[in-house]
């Protein structure tokens, strides 16, 4: 019985690590999309910028969906980076809207 308990505990730990890695990658993808959108705005491709903003917003939604399943420390780290992302995203959205 102890072997099964150990296997379940190991599986839960691996799942938690994988979830956190996924969230980190998703967040990095959002930052990459943001950089790309800024570049496209600088060359006048508003349509591409709007598409990239959609990618970022879907990424944020995905991160928020799974964020509650992380540890408090992991959550703080991701939330801090998300705040930075949102701070950079808001002016971009305003430029596209205006």
- Please check whether residue 98 lies inside any domain of the structure: no
Length of the chain: 98
Which residues constitute the domain of residue 11? 2-92
- Per the CB < 8 A criterion, the answer to whether 96 and 53 are in contact is yes
Q: What's the count of helices (H) and strands (E) in the chain, helices before strands?
A: 3, 0
Domain membership flag for residue 22? yes
The tens place of each residue's pLDDT in the chain, 98 residues long, gives 678 888 989 999 999 999 999 999 999 999 999 999 999 999 999 999 999 999 999 999 999 999 999 999 999 999 999 999 999 999 999 999 98
Within-domain flag for 97: no
As for how many domains the chain has, the answer is: 1
Residue 59 lies inside a defined structural domain of this protein: yes
């Amino acid at each position: 019985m102890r072997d099964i308990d150990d296997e379940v505990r190991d599986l839960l730990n691996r799942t938690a690590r994988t979830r956190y890695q996924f969230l980190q990658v998703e967040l990095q993808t959002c930052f990459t999309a943001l950089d790309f959108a800024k570049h496209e705005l600088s060359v006048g491709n508003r349509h591409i910028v709007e598409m990239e903003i959609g990618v970022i917003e879907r990424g944020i939604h995905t991160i928020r969906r799974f964020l509650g399943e992380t540890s408090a420390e992991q959550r703080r780290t991701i939330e801090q980076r998300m705040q930075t992302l949102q701070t950079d995203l808001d002016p971009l959205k305003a430029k596209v809207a205006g």
